[in-house]
């Protein structure tokens, strides 16, 4: 962070000194403008390498944490450097698009960093029975099976009619919820407990626990989407930024 | 001898001198009820049921009272009958009627007598403290509640069979029968001949039936079995009652007798023919690749042998220990078994999975037996001698050579050792040597599992579980143990049915003197060991442990914890682990939480590594730095995974093309498994998972230190 | 009856160990969108390049004069060895002439360093001050001698006062005797009574030099004899003499009358405004050329029409008190700097507003070789 601030200050000073006396104003074509552009693009390439680094996590190329910190701080630095490069103007079609992409990428990155700071805590406190997100469908299937088995092999001293009623209650109120907790209404266990004889209450408690787990997994899914969906904006646009930025660099240097 | 003349119940009797009153009455056809007297045993006179009026101040026990000239004996007077009745009533008060014998065969002598006397219950109160049962023997059930301390079994075991296993223990109210020095019967020197069962008048000692187990195959005829030298001196009744516990099996050439990794409960004794024993699981590590990295790749697992994928810390083994008289060579794991070989002992005795695949090379005949029969066989001195001889001839050398220190022993030396070593048996829980004791022998394990543990201020720390081919005791012998003077540095105890080869101190000394390089290596090992000991002692903490116990965290020496407030659930740790380990992750991001940390499912380096008990091929072991590794000859039986209470060991399937075991000559594609576990990435400075976490959320910690604040705060 | 228990082993065994290798929605869409976004970008640019619409690659809109060249990059960006192109002077000079500014300048900046294209649709000639100050802020000349101020950074900083009004400046070279103060007083006698003259009455906006016929004749008729209404023509003395002679030709004593009339004219009427000189005694005088300067500032261009918003006396205030022709009634730079002071809401004070770099007096004729078809596809 200290390094980044220092570099930013240095860059700002250089920009101020160079921008004013340059004939034609500060722009990418001048030597210093070009230097800013190259520095900015180099930083963008480093940012992009984070994705590549994650593909070879075991290679000892520096700790993942160092890379992540570097990604965050240097990413912030990219924005002012490119603004200096462009002299705070947009000009052509390609460059306007690039500037817009850069703005969106940096802003989405900041948003993502903020989300990743607060949401893990939210997930931890609000989903005590958390599991692995990708396995939620698998775990839910196992929960459904557990519930079915619980109800199917119930060894309880009760009247046959009561047992039938219990099975019916399960089929009507609880099973639909287990199959689609997003849409089905949540079963109300206090009222179920009143309606069902005491002998089944242990089983009911277990079912309540299963339903609670389903509810929590649902919550986990939603929180996880919030935690990771911003990447769908950040990553594709940053790839586009790198590609188009490269084309811009080539074309600008050519002309 | 001169004859004696006496009167019994008004009848004049003439008997030779030395005859007891009981015998004299018997000769007259008068039956005096007894409980503790058996015709073929020396009378003891303890039950007093046979008392008669013989003209003395008190009634006399007729079984021990010698007849005298001119004696007048009344065997059925009112007084005698009253006494008899009272005695029976007293005995019946504590008798768990109907006792086992009464249930089995309806002929409990005590109950029969009581019924004859017309006793239905007893006026007297039952004793309050229970005397218990002893279920440890495989053939005989012991119910001390039914025991009337008649001493018949003691005399039967001693006088008749000359085994001298049974004896008495305790005094007065606490008196009872005991085996050896009051060991459980199954752990004693009892040979299950069944004499005591036959002698016992009540249900205190009864034959056990084998319930509901029938082995396929031709039931062995008892007469045939008894003809075999192996079954000599075995109780015919016992064999009769357990007819289906031993069967004769015939196998054609090429037929599979048992497969590695399967669970079983029988042992095999080869009578005729030869069999091939081998490992059909390739010796390699599983490697899983592919997945969603590439768009179009599916997951595929394959095996990488040691040449392609050398791992740090793997030992160069010469042999792989299996549950048979001979071990398999590592490079070509095939061996031959012939007549007289017993295999499958561990499976049969301790229910471990089969350690290798056995196929009949020629047509074979063998006995397949359950545990109780095997037990009898092993206790039979004859058979034991044969099995020991087999071991000495074939496996002892390999085991000795497996001890890296002894690799340089010459064949001549080993020959000289062969007959000097002792094969000693230990039962479950027996301590073989205790920490601090004077060292007097070196041990090799022939069969079974031995727990090697050290005492620490925090409790017992299990260093290792050793199986077949393992060894211990050398450090103490060198005299370098802590405290000097050749003391044991650890306690070694048997976990199950264990047999060890004991090499006495003089022979050990001779070995070390003849091969001085051994001494040097031994000293190195001992020095390292002592250093580690010192280190461990330094780490004692005084943190209260109760909050850990629920999750078993106290058992752990190293935990992988994920700080849930920083973790973004990105799976970088899991991917890194898989990357570092052939595509198979050793860590699962799931488990119970402690505080706001997730205790991930990954090897915890437990103080007591339960995973190591029972591996049929000894491929799971503990390195010096205390983490567990699984060698590449794992046969995928899954016992370690089952034993680990936290699910830290996982099995991975892969497909292999091997010879079709059911259709010789053809190849088949089967799914085999290999077990994997976290090895703490010791080849790197930092575990890969911790290294790869971008948010500083993964930590490998010592739970006591890491959670110190949480626990004490 | 067992309630549900959670143990590590139970939880771990629920998980399929290869989960992280499968394709899940978020990572999959990330990949798809990445390729789509990059592909869309490349496709857009590729299509633009292929169809000749190079405007997509433009680094900015072209200046007003060059908009027709928007899709014709090569008209300025000529290939220069290998992959690169340059905008060379030659490229500019195919259409434009760019006469040298000063023979003694130490270096000649490239066309593009002052005329920066791709900055937007405004005049390319509007260069920034930096183009000028790159030399003039610390002026050096090829032979070491500098004629002008050496350290000008902007109009309000370092710009010297105008030469015409600098201390020690030359007086107004005009020979017409005029007192602005008299002419501007409120009770001036006019042909029909009192008049109040304003600046505009004599000085128009376009032709600021007053002419006798338009501006002076109505008050200052050249009457030489009250018997004649017609004044003498406002011309040289020979023409006047001939006129007078002709006029008196019909009368007697014409020679004497001519002499008397001429004496009146030379001594009084003409002398009122002009300076007469006698090359030789007793000859006809000659009238000195009026020498009224048309353009006072030779190195800058001042546009009166742009300054219509202020009254004449705001800048030329000295006129009200000027009595003699020798007074130079131009404002000094301080007057200009009141409005042109370089502030954000001030009047524009860029160099090119008044000055020009190229010496257009040496311009060559156009030599372009392009056809219309070169630009219009």
Q: What percent of chain B has pLDDT over 90?
A: 18
Nearest to B280 by CA among B307, B320, B230: B320
pLDDT band at A234 (very low <50, low <70, confident <90, very high): very high
CATH T-level topology, domain B3-76: Ubiquitin-like (UB roll) (3.10.20)
Q: What is the pLDDT of residue B479?
A: 64
Q: Which domain holds residue A95?
A: 2-117+233-254
Residue B455 pLDDT exceeds 60: yes
pLDDT band at B540 (very low <50, low <70, confident <90, very high): very low
Residue B713 pLDDT exceeds 50: no
Q: Which residues of B touch A128 (CB under 8 A)?
A: 593
CA distance C113 to C121: 18
Q: Are strands B441-447 and B471-472 parallel, antiparallel or unpaired?
A: antiparallel
Q: What is the pLDDT of residue B165?
A: 92
Instruction: Tell me if A27 sits within 8 A of A33, measured CB to CB.
Output: yes
Count Cβ atoms below 10 Å from residue A17 Cβ, excluding itself: 11
For residue B142, what are the β-bridge partners?
A: B134, B205
Chain B to chain C, count of Cβ pairs less than 8 Å apart?
63
For residue B179, what are the β-bridge partners?
A: B166, B183
Q: Could you report the per-residue pLDDT of A47-79, keeping only the tens digit for each?
A: 888 888 888 887 888 888 888 888 888 888 888
**What is the mean pLDDT of the segment spanning B451-459?**
76
Residue B290 pLDDT exceeds 80: no
What size, in residues, is chain B?
Answer: 713
**What is the mean pLDDT of the segment spanning B301-316?**
63
Q: What is the pLDDT of residue B179?
A: 92
- Supply the mean pLDDT for chain C: 81
Q: What is the pLDDT of residue B127?
A: 86
Q: Are A106 and A171 part of one and the same domain?
A: no
List the structure tokens of C74. Answer: 């090569």
Q: Which residues of C touch A95 (CB under 8 A)?
A: 59-60
pLDDT band at C83 (very low <50, low <70, confident <90, very high): low
Cis preceding linkage at B98, omega within 30 = yes
Distance from CA of A184 to the nearest CA of B (A): 28
Residue B634 pLDDT exceeds 90: no
For residue A207, what are the β-bridge partners?
A: none
Q: Could you report the per-residue pLDDT of A203-220, keeping only the tens digit for each?
A: 888 888 899 999 999 999
Q: What are the strands, taking DSSP E only, across chain C?
A: 77-79, 85-87, 188-190, 193-195, 276-277, 286-287
- Which of these ranges, A20-29, A104-113, B502-511, B635-644, has the smallest mean pLDDT? A20-29
Q: What percent of chain C has pLDDT over 90?
A: 1
Q: What is the pLDDT of residue B177?
A: 93
CA distance B433 to B451: 11
CA distance B457 to B364: 56
Q: Are A9 and A113 part of one and the same domain?
A: yes
CA distance C289 to C271: 13
Q: What is the pLDDT of residue A170?
A: 86
- C367: Cα separation from own chain's centroid: 26
List the structure tokens of B504. Answer: 């006495």
Q: What is the pLDDT of residue B22?
A: 92
CA distance C189 to C185: 10
pLDDT band at C115 (very low <50, low <70, confident <90, very high): confident
Interface-testing mutation among A18, A19, A21, A24, with chain C (most C C-beta atoms within 10 A): A24
Q: What is the pLDDT of residue C46?
A: 84
- DSSP string covering B321-372, please? --SSSSPEESSS-EEEE-TT-EE-HHHHHH-PPP-SEEEESS-EEEEEE-HH
Q: Which of residues 77-116 of C touch A (CB under 8 A)?
A: 77, 83-85, 87, 109, 112-114, 116
The CATH code of the domain at B109-207 is 3.30.70.20
**What is the mean pLDDT of the segment spanning B680-699?**
88
What size, in residues, is chain C?
Answer: 377
Interface-testing mutation among A61, A65, A109, A222, with chain B (most B C-beta atoms within 10 A): A65
Which residue on chain B is closest to C19 by alpha carbon?
Answer: B291
Q: What is the pLDDT of residue B316?
A: 64
Q: Could you report the per-residue pLDDT of A89-100, keeping only the tens digit for each?
A: 777 778 888 889
Q: What is the pLDDT of residue A24?
A: 57
Torsion over CA: B165, B166, B167, B169 (sign): positive
Q: What percent of chain B has pLDDT over 70?
A: 84
Q: Give residues with Cβ within 8 angstroms of B464, minimum separation 6.
A: B451, B452, B470, B609, B612, B621, B622
Q: Could you report the per-residue pLDDT of B20-42, keeping only the tens digit for each?
A: 999 999 888 888 999 999 888 89
Which residue on chain A is closest to C39 by alpha carbon?
Answer: A240
Q: Give the CA radius of gyration of chain A.
A: 29
CA distance B545 to B552: 10
Q: Could you report the per-residue pLDDT of B173-183, keeping only the tens digit for each?
A: 889 999 998 88
Which residue on chain B is closest to A62 by alpha carbon?
Answer: B691
Q: Are A150 and A71 part of one and the same domain?
A: no
Residue B295 pLDDT exceeds 60: no
Q: What is the pLDDT of residue B454?
A: 81
Q: Which residues of A touch B294 (CB under 8 A)?
A: none
Of B566, B589, B696, the CB nearest to A120: B566
Distance from CA of B688 to the nearest CA of A (A): 6
Element (H, E) at B654: strand B650-659
Q: What is the pLDDT of residue A20?
A: 63
Q: Does residue B449 come out as left (phi exceeding 0), alpha (psi in the -120 to 50 range) or beta?
A: beta
Q: Does residue B527 come out as left (phi exceeding 0), alpha (psi in the -120 to 50 range) or beta?
A: alpha
Intra-chain end-to-end CA distance of chain B, in Å? 92
Q: What is the pLDDT of residue C58?
A: 67
CA distance A33 to A55: 34
pLDDT band at B46 (very low <50, low <70, confident <90, very high): very high
Q: Which of residues 640-669 of B touch C (CB under 8 A)?
A: 644-648, 650, 652
Q: What percent of chain C has pLDDT over 70?
A: 94
Residue A154 pLDDT exceeds 80: no
Of B299, B599, B646, the CB nearest to C18: B299
Instruction: Tell me if B146 sits within 8 A of B95, measured CB to CB.
Output: yes
Whether B593 and A128 lie within 8 Å, measured CB to CB: yes
Whether B288 and C15 lie within 8 Å, measured CB to CB: no
- Which of these ranges, A125-129, B242-246, C189-193, C301-305, has the smallest mean pLDDT? B242-246
Q: What is the pLDDT of residue C213?
A: 84
Distance from CA of A131 to the nearest CA of C (A): 8
Count Cβ atoms below 10 Å from residue B667 Cβ, excluding itself: 10
Q: Which residues of B touch A65 (CB under 8 A)?
A: 693-696
Q: Which residues of A touch B696 (CB under 8 A)?
A: 65
Whether B579 and A128 lie within 8 Å, measured CB to CB: no
Q: Which residues of B touch A116 (CB under 8 A)?
A: 568, 695
Instruction: Tell me if A147 sits within 8 A of A209, measured CB to CB.
Output: no
Q: What percent of chain A has pLDDT over 70?
A: 95
Q: Which residues of C touch B298 (CB under 8 A)?
A: none
Instruction: Tell me if B140 sits within 8 A of B111, measured CB to CB.
Output: no
pTM (whole model) above 0.80? no
Whether B693 and A224 lie within 8 Å, measured CB to CB: no
Q: Could you report the per-residue pLDDT of A237-250, keeping only the tens digit for each?
A: 999 999 988 888 88
Q: Are A113 and A6 part of one and the same domain?
A: yes
Of B292, B601, B652, the CB nearest to C21: B292
CA distance B646 to B548: 14
Q: Which residues of B touch C27 (CB under 8 A)?
A: 292
Q: How many CA atoms lie within 13 A of B477 on its CB side?
A: 23
Q: What is the pLDDT of residue B166?
A: 93
Q: Which of residues 26-55 of C touch A (CB under 8 A)?
A: 26, 29-30, 33-38, 40-42, 45, 55
Q: Could you report the per-residue pLDDT of A171-205, keeping only the tens digit for each?
A: 888 888 888 888 888 888 888 888 888 888 888 88
Q: Are A203 and A108 part of one and the same domain?
A: no
Q: What is the pLDDT of residue B150?
A: 92
What size, in residues, is chain A?
Answer: 255
Q: Could you report the per-residue pLDDT of B207-222, keeping only the tens digit for each?
A: 876 444 456 666 777 7
Residue A225 pLDDT exceeds 50: yes
Number of domain units in chain A: 2
Q: What is the pLDDT of residue B144?
A: 93
Q: Could you report the per-residue pLDDT of B559-617, keeping only the tens digit for each?
A: 899 999 999 999 999 999 988 887 888 899 998 888 788 989 998 888 777 888 878 88
Name chain C's partners: 3 or more CB pairs within 8 A.
A, B
- Supply the mean pLDDT for chain B: 81
**What is the mean pLDDT of the segment spanning C329-351?**
84
CA distance A39 to C135: 30
Q: Are A148 and A240 part of one and the same domain?
A: no
Of B293, B571, B585, the CB nearest to C17: B585
Residue B124 pLDDT exceeds 70: yes
Q: What is the pLDDT of residue A88?
A: 78
Whether B571 and C12 lie within 8 Å, measured CB to CB: no
Long-range own/partner contacts, residues A157-166 (CB < 8 A, 24 or more apart): A157/A199, A158/A197, A158/A199, A158/A200, A162/A196, A162/A197, A162/A199, A162/A200, A165/A196, A166/A196, A166/A200, A166/A203
Q: Which residues of B touch A67 (CB under 8 A)?
A: 694
Domain contains A78:
yes
CA distance B141 to B455: 37
**What is the mean pLDDT of the segment spanning B346-368?**
86
The larger pLDDT score, comparing residue B192 to residue B150, is at B150
* Residue ranges covered by each domain of chain B: 3-76, 109-207, 397-538, 546-712
Q: Are A94 and A108 part of one and the same domain?
A: yes
Distance from CA of A55 to the nearest CA of B (A): 9
Residue C12 in contact with partner chain B when CB distance is under 8 A: yes
- Supply the mean pLDDT for chain A: 84
Distance from CA of C338 to the nearest CA of A (A): 24
Q: For residue C130, give Cα distances in angstroms to A83, B600, C356.
A: 21, 66, 14
Domain contains A124:
no
Residue B292 pLDDT exceeds 60: no
CA distance B370 to B23: 44
Residue C4 in contact with partner chain B when CB distance is under 8 A: no
Q: What is the pLDDT of residue B465?
A: 81
pLDDT band at B618 (very low <50, low <70, confident <90, very high): confident
Q: For residue B295, give Cα distances in angstroms to A48, A58, B299, B581, C235.
A: 20, 22, 11, 22, 101
Q: Which residues of B touch C6 (CB under 8 A)?
A: 592
CA distance B496 to B447: 10
Residue B147 pLDDT exceeds 90: yes
Domain contains A122:
no
Q: What is the pLDDT of residue B314?
A: 59
The larger pLDDT score, comparing residue B140 to residue B476, is at B140
CATH T-level topology, domain B397-538: Jelly Rolls (2.60.120)
Q: Are A188 and A82 part of one and the same domain?
A: no
Residue B682 pLDDT exceeds 80: no
Q: Are A67 and A151 part of one and the same domain?
A: no
- Which of these ranges, A41-50, A87-96, B490-499, C180-189, has the smallest mean pLDDT? A87-96
Q: What is the pLDDT of residue B542?
A: 40
Q: Could you report the per-residue pLDDT of A4-60, keeping only the tens digit for each?
A: 777 788 877 777 777 666 655 666 667 777 888 888 888 888 888 888 888 888 788
pLDDT band at B409 (very low <50, low <70, confident <90, very high): confident
Which residue on chain C is closest to B579 by alpha carbon?
Answer: C21
Residue B81 pLDDT exceeds 60: yes
pLDDT band at B712 (very low <50, low <70, confident <90, very high): low
Q: Are A11 and A112 part of one and the same domain?
A: yes
pLDDT band at B484 (very low <50, low <70, confident <90, very high): very low
Q: Are A217 and A247 part of one and the same domain?
A: no
Q: What is the pLDDT of residue B317?
A: 67
Whether A123 and B564 lie within 8 Å, measured CB to CB: yes
Q: Are A238 and A113 part of one and the same domain?
A: yes
Whether B588 and C12 lie within 8 Å, measured CB to CB: yes
To 10 degrees, the CA torsion angle through A170, A172, A178, A184?
-150
């Amino acid at each position: 962070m200290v390094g980044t601030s220092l570099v930013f200050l240095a860059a700002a000073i250089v920009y101020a000194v160079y921008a004013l006396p340059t004939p034609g104003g500060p722009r990418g074509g001048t030597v210093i403008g070009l230097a800013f552009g190259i520095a900015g693009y180099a930083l963008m390439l480093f940012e992009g390498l984070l994705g590549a680094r994650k593909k070879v996590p075991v290679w000892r190329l520096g700790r993942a944490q160092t890379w992540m910190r570097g990604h965050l701080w240097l990413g912030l630095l990219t924005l002012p450097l490119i603004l200096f490069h462009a002299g705070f103007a947009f000009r052509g079609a390609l460059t306007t698009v690039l500037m817009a992409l850069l703005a969106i990428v940096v802003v989405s990155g900041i948003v993502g960093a903020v989300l990743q700071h607060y949401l893990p805590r939210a997930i931890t406190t609000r989903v005590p029975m958390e599991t692995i997100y990708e396995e939620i469908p698998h775990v839910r299937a196992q929960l459904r099976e557990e519930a079915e088995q619980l109800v199917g092999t119930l060894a309880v001293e009760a009247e046959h009619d009561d047992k039938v009623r219990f099975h019916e209650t399960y089929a009507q109120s609880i099973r639909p919820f287990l199959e689609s907790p997003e849409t089905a209404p949540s079963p109300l266990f206090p009222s179920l407990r009143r309606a069902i004889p005491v002998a089944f209450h242990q089983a009911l408690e277990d079912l309540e626990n299963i339903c609670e787990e389903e509810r929590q997994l649902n919550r986990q899914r939603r929180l996880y989407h919030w935690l990771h969906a911003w990447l769908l904006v950040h990553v594709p646009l940053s790839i586009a930024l790198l590609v188009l930025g490269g084309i811009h660099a080539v074309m600008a240097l050519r002309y | 001898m001169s004859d004696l003349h006496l009167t019994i119940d008004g009848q004049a009797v003439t008997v030779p001198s030395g005859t007891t009153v009981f015998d004299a009455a018997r000769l007259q056809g008068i039956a005096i009820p007894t409980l503790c007297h058996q015709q073929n045993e020396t009378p003891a006179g303890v039950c007093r049921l046979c008392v008669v009026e013989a003209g003395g101040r008190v009634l006399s026990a007729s079984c021990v009272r010698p007849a005298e000239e001119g004696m007048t004996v009344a065997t059925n007077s009112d007084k005698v009958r009253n006494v008899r009745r009272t005695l029976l009533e007293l005995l019946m008060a504590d008798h768990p009627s109907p006792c086992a014998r009464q249930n089995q065969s309806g002929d409990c002598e005590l109950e029969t007598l009581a019924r004859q006397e017309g006793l239905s219950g007893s006026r007297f109160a039952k004793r309050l403290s229970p005397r218990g049962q002893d279920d440890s023997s495989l053939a005989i059930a012991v119910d001390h509640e039914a025991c009337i301390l008649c001493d018949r079994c003691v005399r039967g075991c001693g006088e008749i069979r000359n085994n001298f296993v049974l004896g008495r223990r305790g005094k007065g109210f606490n008196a009872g029968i005991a085996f050896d020095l009051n060991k459980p019967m199954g752990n004693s020197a009892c040979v299950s001949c069944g004499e005591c069962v036959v002698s016992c008048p009540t249900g205190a000692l009864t034959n056990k039936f084998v319930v509901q187990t029938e082995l396929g195959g031709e039931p062995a005829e008892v007469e045939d079995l008894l003809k075999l030298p192996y079954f000599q001196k075995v109780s015919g009744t016992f064999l009769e009652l357990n007819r289906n516990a031993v069967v004769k099996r015939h196998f054609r050439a090429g037929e599979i007798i048992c497969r590695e990794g399967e669970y079983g409960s029988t042992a095999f004794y080869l009578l005729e023919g030869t069999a091939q024993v081998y490992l059909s699981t390739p010796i390699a590590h599983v490697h899983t690749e592919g997945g969603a990295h590439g768009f179009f790749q599916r997951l595929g697992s394959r095996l990488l042998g040691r040449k392609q994928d050398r791992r740090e810390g793997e030992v160069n083994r010469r042999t792989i220990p299996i549950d048979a008289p001979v071990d398999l060579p590592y490079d070509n794991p095939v061996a031959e078994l012939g007549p007289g070989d017993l295999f499958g002992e561990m499976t049969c005795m301790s229910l471990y999975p089969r350690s290798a695949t056995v196929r009949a090379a020629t047509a074979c005949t063998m006995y397949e037996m359950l545990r109780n029969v095997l037990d009898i066989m092993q206790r039979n001195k004859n058979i034991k001698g044969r099995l020991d001889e087999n071991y000495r001839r074939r496996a002892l050398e390999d085991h000795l050579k497996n001890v890296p220190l002894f690799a340089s022993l010459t064949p001549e030396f080993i020959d000289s050792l062969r007959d000097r070593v002792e094969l000693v048996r230990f039962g479950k829980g027996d301590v073989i040597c205790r920490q601090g004791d004077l060292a007097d022998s070196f041990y090799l394990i022939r069969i079974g599992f031995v727990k090697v543990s050290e005492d620490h201020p925090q409790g017992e720390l299990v260093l290792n579980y050793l199986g077949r081919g393992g060894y211990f005791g050398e450090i103490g012998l060198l005299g370098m143990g802590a405290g000097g003077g050749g003391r044991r540095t650890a306690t070694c105890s048997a976990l199950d049915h264990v047999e060890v080869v004991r090499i006495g101190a003089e022979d050990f000394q001779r070995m070390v003197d003849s091969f001085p390089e051994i001494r040097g290596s031994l000293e190195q090992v001992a020095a390292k060991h002592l250093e580690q000991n010192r280190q461990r002692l330094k780490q004692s903490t005084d943190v209260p442990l109760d909050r850990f116990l629920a999750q078993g965290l106290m058992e752990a020496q190293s935990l992988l914890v994920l700080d849930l407030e920083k973790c973004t659930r990105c799976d970088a740790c899991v991917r890194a682990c898989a990357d570092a380990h052939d595509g198979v992750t050793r860590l699962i991001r799931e488990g119970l939480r402690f505080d706001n940390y997730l205790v991930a499912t990954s090897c915890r380096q437990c103080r007591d590594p339960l995973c190591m008990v029972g591996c049929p091929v000894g491929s799971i072991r503990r390195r010096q730095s205390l983490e567990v590794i699984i060698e590449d000859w794992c046969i995928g039986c899954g016992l370690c995974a089952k034993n680990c209470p936290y699910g830290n060991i996982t099995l991975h399937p892969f497909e292999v093309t091997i010879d079709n075991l059911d259709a010789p000559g053809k190849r088949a594609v089967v799914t085999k498994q290999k077990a994997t576990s976290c090895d703490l990435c010791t080849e790197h400075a930092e575990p890969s998972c911790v290294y790869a976490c971008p948010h500083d959320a993964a930590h490998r910690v010592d739970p006591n230190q890491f959670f110190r604040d949480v626990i004490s705060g | 009856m067992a309630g549900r228990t959670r143990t590590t082993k139970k939880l771990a065994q629920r998980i399929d160990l290869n989960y992280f290798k499968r394709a899940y929605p978020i990572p999959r869409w990330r990949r798809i969108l990445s390729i789509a976004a990059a592909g869309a970008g490349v496709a857009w640019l590729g299509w633009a390049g292929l169809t000749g619409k190079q405007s997509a690659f433009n680094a900015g809109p072209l200046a007003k004069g060059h908009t027709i060249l928007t899709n014709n990059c090569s008209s300025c960006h000529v290939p220069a060895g290998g992959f690169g192109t340059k905008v060379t002077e030659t490229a500019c000079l195919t259409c434009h002439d760019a006469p040298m500014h000063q023979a003694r300048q130490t270096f000649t900046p490239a066309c593009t360093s002052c005329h920066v294209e791709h900055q937007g649709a405004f005049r390319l000639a509007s260069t920034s001050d930096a183009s000028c100050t790159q030399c003039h802020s610390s002026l050096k000349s090829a032979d070491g001698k500098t004629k002008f101020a050496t350290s000008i950074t902007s109009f309000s900083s370092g710009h010297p006062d105008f030469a015409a009004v600098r201390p020690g400046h030359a007086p107004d070279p005009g020979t017409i005797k005029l007192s602005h103060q008299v002419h501007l007083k409120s009770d001036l006698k006019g042909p029909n009574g009192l008049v109040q003259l304003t600046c505009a009455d004599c000085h128009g906006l376009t032709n600021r030099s007053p002419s006798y016929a338009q501006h002076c004749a109505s008050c200052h008729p050249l009457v030489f004899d009250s018997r004649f209404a017609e004044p003498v023509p406002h011309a040289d003395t020979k023409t006047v003499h001939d006129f007078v002679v002709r006029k008196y030709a019909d009368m007697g004593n014409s020679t004497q009358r001519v002499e008397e009339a001429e004496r009146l004219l030379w001594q009084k009427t003409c002398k009122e405004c002009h300076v007469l000189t006698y090359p030789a005694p007793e000859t006809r005088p000659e009238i000195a050329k009026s020498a009224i300067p048309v353009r006072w500032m030779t190195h800058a261009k001042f546009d009166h029409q742009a300054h219509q918003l202020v009254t004449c006396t705001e800048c030329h205030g000295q006129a009200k008190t000027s009595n003699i022709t020798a007074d130079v009634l131009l404002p000094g730079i301080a007057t200009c700097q009141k409005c042109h002071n370089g502030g954000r809401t001030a009047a524009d004070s860029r160099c090119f507003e008044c000055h020009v770099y190229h010496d257009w007096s040496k311009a060559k004729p156009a030599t372009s070789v392009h056809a219309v078809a070169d630009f219009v596809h």
